[in-house]
Amino acid sequence: MQRTIFISFFFVATYMISRFISTIGEQKPRTTMLPPDLLAMDLAKKLRFDPHATNLASTDFGNLTRALPAAVLYPSSQNDIATLIHSSYSSHLPFPIAAKGHGHSIHGQAMAYNGVVIEMGSLDGKDGARINVSSIPPLFFADVGGEQLWIDVLHATLRHGLAPLSWTDYLYLTVGGTLSNAGISGQAFRHGPQISNVYEMDVVTGKGEVVKCSRQLNSELYYAVLGGLGQFGIITRARIALEPAPQRVRWLRLLYVDFSAFTKDQEYLISLNADGEGGPTNGFDYLEGSVVNDESLINNWRSSFFSKGDHRRISALAAHHSIIYFLEVSKYYSHFGGPTTVDQDVDSLLKGLSFLPDRVFSNDVSYTDFLNRVHQGELKLRAQGLWDVPHPWLNLFIPKSRILDFDRGVFRGVLKRNATMGPVLVYPMNQDKWENTMSAVTPDEEVFYTVGLLRSAADNWELLEDQNREILSFCEEAGIECKQYLPHYETKAQWKKHFGQKWNMFVDRKQKFDPKGLLSPGQRIFTLSMSEGSHDHSSY
């Protein structure tokens, strides 16, 4: 009974504090919402209230939502962040706080209406001072500021012949941002998400306390923060696991017209090292899949892999079959002055697969160029004016047992009826590479698929949002127990369903580490209006 009363009071109180309203359209931030003692501190010199600063902090990559903060903090140290949070925590008028890295969120998750947005990039030291690499065996790691971009981590670690094990497809994201979600890409089946490759962190909690945490030290905070959507603390430093870096990548795309064969081959390939035995030569180092129709291949950042002649042949095949599928795999290798067996390794791995034998596309690139492949697509889209547009993305985790149903209902149903522009990813991951004690949630099956609908909309983004809702409704009606990655929900009931058995743990951790509900209000887990059935994507 007491727990129920506390949770109800918690939701009501945090909602009253934040007082979120409609975020589409012009809003006037009110500096009066900030306590006078904060404005009297030396820290106030690092706060900006001007329209230029607040406008920059009011939008994100999604370009679907706008929420003006009262101020933006440009910290020079984690102590500045701790001072800001403690000021809010100790005030009789606490204000919401959000950490903003590269601003790559989709639905305003890094925004703080009438609160303070922390511009994490302001922490960045000169000449890579916030990236420190330890190359002393046997434990290789990099201590990295939470504001650092993964592309800069890559360059810094490569100077020592090392690199992180797990990546995201796009490297111009901050370390703190991806660790607050999970951080996934085609290496996750082998090494797990990025959150599974962190030794320790420095975190500023919702009480303004600076805490070092790891699996052994302050472990509850460690597990809460990783995949915790910014609800429990702000990551100011992370110790990232490293391994010797390869030099080159043999990069292939294999074409399929049968979805069942496509998924069967993916599941076989990720099983080769599922138990962690056998060494790296027994499987590919990277695996992703994608769904392609004739129109989705155009203005697609993944399409730069193909020549113009390839485009014509693929488009003709897509037009004939309506939908085709690509399996994208990579094998890492190094010369080191001697012969390599990459050709034999790749040929051996391809034996027995069911791709179209005359539709194998291969490239050989540097390790850096492979990992930074999306940036080339970004430059292409920027040149066409197609980067800074609305991005109504939808990312889902689908149980292996229902992926064929998802293909019939979505890839060959919803998406076939409505042409889509942009990549559509679908590839499997191994559940045992995720740690259940962390806040991130996945379907309860040994293998599950990530589906990424990474669409751009120069106009009519509302139609794509409607399509996303149609996809979610299909999953609901078909009984497909999917989970959103980079989640965006509108009601308490939806969040409770998302976290499932972890919900009570999530609430308990929130009360322990951010009891006043100050952090990451843009996620709308504890600060949104809990009215059931709301479908207004523009309201907080």
Q: Among 108-112, 242-246, 277-281, 514-518, which stretch is predicted with the lowest mean pLDDT?
A: 277-281
User: Which candidate in 60, 102, 104, 490 is catalytic?
Assistant: 104
Which residue has better confidence, 490 or 110?
110
Q: Give yes or no for residue 283 having a pLDDT over 50.
A: yes
288 catalytic? Reply is yes
| % pLDDT > 70, the chain | 86
Is 481 annotated in the active site?
no
Closest by CA to 70, choosing from 19, 141, 8, 121, is 19
Rg value, the chain, Cα: 23
pLDDT for residue 458:
82
Assign 529 a pLDDT band (cuts: 50, 70, 90).
very low
pLDDT at 537: 33
CA distance 363 to 306: 9
**Pick from 416, 428, 218, 422: which is nearest to 300 by CA?**
422
Residue 18 has a pLDDT of: 41
What was the pLDDT predicted at 10?
44
pLDDT of residue 296: 55
Total-model pTM: 0.89
Q: Would you call 191 a catalytic residue per the annotation? A: no
* Mean pLDDT, range 443-462, rounded to an integer: 93
- Residue 520 zone, left/alpha/beta (φ > 0; ψ -120 to 50; rest): left
β-bridge mates for residue 201, sequence order = 213, 238
Is 31's pLDDT higher than 70?
A: no
Per the rule left: phi > 0, alpha: psi between -120 and 50, beta: everything else, 148 is beta
Ramachandran bin of 483, using left for φ above 0, alpha for ψ from -120 to 50, beta for the remaining angles: beta
Q: What is the mean pLDDT of residues 114-137?
A: 90
**Strand extents, DSSP E, 267-380:** 286-292, 324-333, 360-366
Whether residue 425 has pLDDT greater than 50: yes
User: What are the tens digits of pLDDT across the range 285-332?
Assistant: 999 999 987 655 554 555 556 677 777 778 778 778 889 999 999 999
Residue 481 is predicted with a pLDDT of 96
Phi and psi (nearest 5°) for 501? -65, -15
CA distance 494 to 500: 10
* pLDDT value, residue 268: 97
If one compares 1 and 150, the residue with the highest pLDDT of the two is 150
**What is the percentage of the chain residues whose pLDDT exceeds 90?**
74
Q: Fill in the DSSP letter of residue 246.
A: P
Helix or strand run (H / E) with residue 428: strand 424-430
SS3 content of the chain, % helix, strand, coil (to 5): 40, 20, 40
**CA nearest 326: which of 377, 386, 261?**
261
Q: Which long-range contacts (CB under 8 A, 24 or more apart) does 121-126 make?
A: 121/147, 121/174, 122/46, 122/73, 122/74, 122/75, 122/76, 122/147, 123/75, 123/76, 123/77, 123/78, 123/147, 123/236, 124/148
Q: Which residue has the higher pLDDT, 306 or 75?
A: 75
Weakest mean pLDDT among 27-31, 102-106, 167-171, 175-179: 27-31
How far apart CA 157 and CA 213 sit, in angstroms, is 23
Please state the rounded mean pLDDT for residues 119-125.
Answer: 91
Q: Among 18-22, 303-307, 471-475, 524-528, whose mean pLDDT is lowest?
A: 18-22
Q: Which residue has the higher pLDDT, 24 or 70?
A: 70
Cα–Cα distance measured from residue 3 to residue 26, given in angstroms and rounded to the nearest whole number: 39
- Render pLDDT for 341-379 as a digit per residue (tens, 0 to 9): 999 999 999 999 999 998 899 999 999 999 999 998 889
Q: Cβ distance 98 to 118 under 8 Å?
A: yes
Q: Give the model's pLDDT for residue 4.
A: 43
Is pLDDT larger for residue 383 or for residue 223?
223
Question: Which of the following is catalytic: 152, 169, 285, 514?
Answer: 169
Using pLDDT thresholds of 50, 70 and 90, give the confidence band for residue 22.
very low
Q: Which pLDDT score is estimated for 314? A: 80
Of 129-143, 262-276, 341-355, 517-531, the range with the lowest mean pLDDT is: 517-531
User: Which of the four pLDDT bands, split at 50, 70 and 90, describes residue 17?
Assistant: very low
Per-residue pLDDT, averaged over 335-346, amounts to 83
pLDDT confidence of residue 515 = 97
For the segment 110-118, the average pLDDT, to the nearest whole number, is 96
Residue 391: what pLDDT? 95
Instruction: Give the separation between CA 500 and CA 503, rounded to whole angstroms.
Output: 6
Looking at every residue in the chain, the average pLDDT score rounds to 88
**Active-site residue among 288, 328, 407, 514?**
288
Beta bridge partners of 116: 71, 97
